[in-house]
Amino acid sequence: MGLATFKGGVHPYEGKELSENKPVQVLMPKGEMVYPMSQHIGAPATPLVAKGDKVLAGQKIGEASGFISANVICSVSGTVKAIEPRQVASGGVINSVVVENDGMYETVAGLGEDRDPAGLSRQEIRDIMKEAGIVGLGGAGFPTHVKLTPKDENAIEYILVNGAECEPYLTSDYRMMLEEPEKIVGGLKVILQLFDNAKGVIGIEDNKPEAIARLTELVKDEPGIEVCPLKTKYPQGGERSLIHAITGRKLNSAMLPADVGCIVDNVDTVIAIYMAVCKTTPLMRRIVTVTGDAIASPQNYNVKIGTSFQELVEAAGGFKDEPEKLIAGGPMMGMALFSLDIPVTKTCSALTCFMKDEVAEEEPSACIRCGRCVEACPSNIIPEKMMRAALKGDCDAFEKLDGMECMECGGCAFVCPARRQLTQAFKDMRKTVMENRRKKA
C-alpha cells in the first residue's frame, strides 16, 4: 500500500538541507517591537495601552474585538512608543502598538507557572486559549478558540496535527517535532480533552523520518494518538489535502473541516496551546526559519513576535550578497517583501531570501495546453480554462469552472512550461468574486 496522500500536487526543490540540522536558537531582540493589531483572520484587536504606558512581557496589549478575533500579547517589557499604522508582510498597513524594548524581559505575575489541564473545564481551556491570543500558526491565522468551538463537539472524530511542512525551505515545524515533541503530544492531549469522540493523528511527510520516529516512539503508549506518515508532495499540508490523505474524507471550499468531523492544527499551534494551558504562557513567540541562498548562515529561531525581519537577517549572519527577492514564508505561498522593516507576526513561519528571482528570468509565453496544470491541481479543476476566464475578467465563467475551489497553492504556476502567472490571476479573480458576493449580500 502506498503512503497516505492526495491526487495532484507537485515536487518543487525542497531546499530544507540548508536549515534542517540547525537547532532552534532563542533570538533576543534589541530595538523597537511592533505588534500589529491584526495578525489573524477576523476583526482587528483593540489596543489596550496608550503611548507612554509601561508594559510587561505576557501582558495583553490588544483585545479581541468580536467573535472571530484574537488578543495580542506583548513579548517584551518596555514602554509604548506609539500606536500607529505600520507596514506588515502582506504589503498592507495595519494599526500597531510599537514598544521600545527595555531589554529586561520582565514578565507579568504568574507567567510560566505549571498548571494541570485535568482540573480545567472545557470552557476554561477555551478561555485560556482565547486569553493567550492563539491563532493558527501555520499561516492562516484563524483564532484557535473559535476553531475548537464547533457547533457539535460530539461530531468531531479527528484532531489532526499538521506536521507535513510541505512548503519548500521551511524547517521550523520539523525542528520542533525533533526538539519538543512532548509539548506537541501534551498540547494534543489538551485538545482531545475537549472532544469525547475524537482521536489525535499527527501527519508528517516521509522526508522527515527522524520526526516520524520521535513522535511514533512518544505516542506508542497513548491509545488515542497515532502518527501518520504522508507522501512527500506539495501541498500535502494544505488543510483539504491533509484531511483527505489521513481520513479519506473530502471537503470543498464552502465547507469547514468540522463538517467532516475534523479539526486541523499546525504543530507550532499545538505547542502554543500546551504552553498556554499547561505552562501559563500566552503566545509571545514563534519558530521562524531564516533561509535561502542569500542568507550567510541559515537558522531556525525562536523569535519574539514583534521582532523586525532586519534583526533576523542580522542574526543569521546577514546576506552573502545582495538578494533579489525576500519572502515572508516559503517560495510556494509566501509573500514577497520590499523591505525588512516589517515585524514577525503570529503567522510568519519563515524568511526566505533568494539571490536570484527565478520568476523574473522568463517572460510568460503562449499556453500550449500541455495539461501539466490540470495534473498538478489538488482541487481537480482546470487552471487552463480558468486562466482564459481570468484574462477576460469573466467572473461567471470563472465560478462555473469552480475557480473558487482554488486553494492558491501555486502548483499550476510552478509547473507551467509557458511560465504563465496562473495562481496570480486566480488570486485576483477570487478576490473580485468574493467582493461581488459581499456587495450582493
Partner 1 sequence: MSKLLNVSSSPHVRSEVNTQSIMLDVIIAMLPATAYGVYQFGLHALLVIVATVVACAVSEYLFEKAVKKPCTVRDLSAVVTGLILALNMPAGIPIWIPMLGGVFAIVVVKQLYGGLGQNFMNPALAARCFLLISFTGQMSSFTLDGVSQATPLAQMKSGEAVDLAAVFIGKIPGTIGEVSVIALLIGAAYLLVKKIISIRIPAVYLLTVAVFVYIFGDHSLYQVAAHLCGGGLIFGAFFMATDYVTSPITPWGQIVFGILLGALTGLFRMFGGSAEGVSYAIIMCNLLVPLIEKFTLPKAFGKEGK
Interface with partner 1 by CB under 8 A: which residues? 7, 10, 12-13, 91, 168, 240, 244, 250-253, 255, 322-327, 329, 331-339, 352, 354, 357-360, 362, 365-372, 374, 378-382, 384-385, 401-402, 405, 408, 410, 413-419, 421, 423-424, 427
Q: Given the complex with partner 1, which of 290 and 332 has the nearer CB atom?
A: 332
Q: Given the complex with partner 1, which of 315 and 413 has the nearer CB atom?
A: 413
Compute the least distance from the CB of residue 165 to partner 1, in Å: 16
Q: Given the complex with partner 1, which of 37 and 316 has the nearer CB atom?
A: 316
Q: Given the complex with partner 1, which of 31 and 417 has the nearer CB atom?
A: 417
Pair 39, 65: CB distance under 8 Å: no
Looking at this protein, which amino acid is placed at residue 341?
D
Compute the least distance from the CB of residue 147 to partner 1, in Å: 19
Residue 163 to residues 114, 120, 172, 267, 320: CA-CA distances in angstroms? 26, 27, 10, 6, 31
Three cell numbers written together for 107: 514578565
Compute the least distance from the CB of residue 322 to partner 1, in Å: 5
Q: Given the complex with partner 1, which of 302 and 310 has the nearer CB atom?
A: 310
Compute the least distance from the CB of residue 263 to partner 1, in Å: 17
Residue 258 gets which letter from DSSP? G
Residue 314 gets which letter from DSSP? H
CA-to-CA distance for 78 and 307, rounded, in angstroms? 14
Give Cα 403 to chain centroid, integer Å.
Answer: 23
Q: Given the complex with partner 1, which of 142 and 354 has the nearer CB atom?
A: 354
Instruction: For residue 253, give the H/E element and its range.
Output: none
* Peptide bond connecting 229 to the previous residue in cis, omega within 30 degrees of 0: no
Strands 54-55, 78-87: pairing is: antiparallel
Looking at this protein, which amino acid is placed at residue 14?
E
Compute the least distance from the CB of residue 340 to partner 1, in Å: 9
Q: Given the complex with partner 1, which of 47 and 329 has the nearer CB atom?
A: 329
Q: Given the complex with partner 1, which of 215 and 333 has the nearer CB atom?
A: 333
CB neighbourhood size of 2 (10 A): 5
Residue whose entry in the numeric block shows the C-alpha cell 505561498: 333
Pair 56, 43: CB distance under 8 Å: no
Compute the least distance from the CB of residue 414 to partner 1, in Å: 5
The angle, 0 to 180 degrees and rounded to 10, between the axes of the packed helices 209-218 and 181-192 is 50
Compute the least distance from the CB of residue 374 to partner 1, in Å: 6
Question: Euclidean distance between the first and final Cα of the chain, in Å?
Answer: 48
Compute the least distance from the CB of residue 240 to partner 1, in Å: 7
Strands 225-230, 93-101: pairing is: unpaired
